[in-house]
Amino acid sequence: MCGLAGILNKNGKRISGKDITCMADIMNDRYDGRGGGFAAYGIYPKYKDQYALHIFLDNHEARERTEEYLKGVVDIVKEDGVPTAKITEIPKAHETWRYFVDVPEKTDKQDDYIVKVVMTINNEIQGAYVASSGRNMGVFKATGLPCDVARLFKIDKYKAYCWTSHGRFPTNTRGWWGGAHPFNLLDWCVIHNGEISSYGTNKRYLETYGYKCNLQTDTEVVAYLFDLLVRKHGLSMETASTALTPPFWKHIDAMPEKERKLYTHIRMTYAPAMLNGPFGIIVTNQDTMIGLNDRIKLRPLVAAKDGDYSFIASEEAAIRSISKEPEKVWAPKAGSPVIARLEDGLLRGG
């Protein structure tokens, strides 16, 4: 029942958060108020070279412990509170603070360093949770409807070239700020509708590479899997998508020899990374937006193109709320990614 929406402008033109909020509002029947959120890319041009850490803090003590830790491991260029509005629909359960940071100069693998910082805060500092940790981007989420989360974080005041939104209807996990979508690590953001029934296998696989999954929802494994397969293992976005939603064996067996060997290798090598269950997801990073369904397409997903803009959403109505007559609208095939990139626009239609 969750509702997903994404917009990407291929030229990097930044647009207000009003459009993504409008797309989210159209799908209100999909939400129950236990989680809403937005991801935005390009919102911090002045600090585009720093990692922007958005951190939920339960209390002043949690903030003190977090800042003491950060001052020992990174250089804080700027820190301030994420601007919020007082609204009755979402009581202020957490203080949301942001830190623009650099890693120590002699650090070779800066992204790995920040991942370690994020995992340490989330697992060792009680009352602190890192909502986002990428460069020139941020995640804004809370327990509430997307329209109220947008008002809380003043989403209309931000401008981004890529936006995603999510409204939750959780079925097997509780609603809390950290459990709202998007889920983020570095530049990766994931929003999800459905259930990852392979969560246990995926979690154990990720933990062998040092990732720690403790955010009380199945979606976090998808963000970590893309980080592992693309950033650390060097797979293309297309190949990583194939590893997560590979063809059935009966289809692989019917392929020409060269393709059969390739897909067999992918399935066997990344078997623990394969996602099972009914799902529709949107995955984004600094230059790409991907829409991906499970291999039977048990959750809805619609894609569209209109000039310089690419759209992905759970419902066509959400897309048409801001693009009345798109050039092309279609439902991507089961297990086949639809991919939009900066400069190139929509590359593959699923």
Please tell me whether the overall predicted TM-score, pTM, comes out greater than 0.75 for this model.
yes
What are the residue ranges of helices labelled H in 101-213? 110-124, 146-152, 199-207
The pLDDT of residue 265: 97
d(CA 211, CA 293): 24
d(CA 117, CA 44): 21
Q: Does the pLDDT value for residue 309 go beyond 80? A: yes
For 230-256, how does the pLDDT look when each residue is reduced to its tens digit (9 = 90+)? 999 999 999 999 999 999 999 999 999
b or e along 158-190 (b: 16 or more beta carbons within 10 Å of the residue's beta carbon)?
bebbbbbbbbbbbeebebbbbbbbbbbbbbbbb
Q: Does the pLDDT value for residue 1 go beyond 90? A: no
The pLDDT of residue 218: 83
d(CA 303, CA 316): 8
For 110-149, how does the pLDDT look when each residue is reduced to its tens digit (9 = 90+)? 999 999 999 999 999 999 999 999 999 999 999 999 999 9
d(CA 83, CA 105): 30
Q: Is 162 a catalytic residue?
A: no
The pLDDT of residue 344: 79
Residue ranges covered by each domain of the chain: 3-349
User: Tell me, what amino acid is at 331?
Assistant: A
- Mean residue pLDDT of the chain comes to 93
**Cβ(169)–Cβ(280) below 8 Å:** no
Catalytic member of 2, 147, 162, 213: 2
The pLDDT of residue 340: 95
The pLDDT of residue 34: 85
The pLDDT of residue 172: 65
Q: Which CATH number is 3-349 given?
A: 3.60.20.10
SS (H, E, C) 21-49: HHHHHHCHHHCCCCCEEEEEECCCHHHCC
Mean pLDDT, residues 57-74: 96
Least confident segment among 49-58, 88-97, 269-278? 88-97
Mean pLDDT, residues 268-283: 96
* Burial (0-12, 13-18, 19+ Cβ within 10 Å), 327: exposed
The pLDDT of residue 347: 59
User: Tell me, what amino acid is at 174?
Assistant: R
For 140-178, how does the pLDDT look when each residue is reduced to its tens digit (9 = 90+)? 999 999 999 999 999 999 999 999 999 988 766 666 677
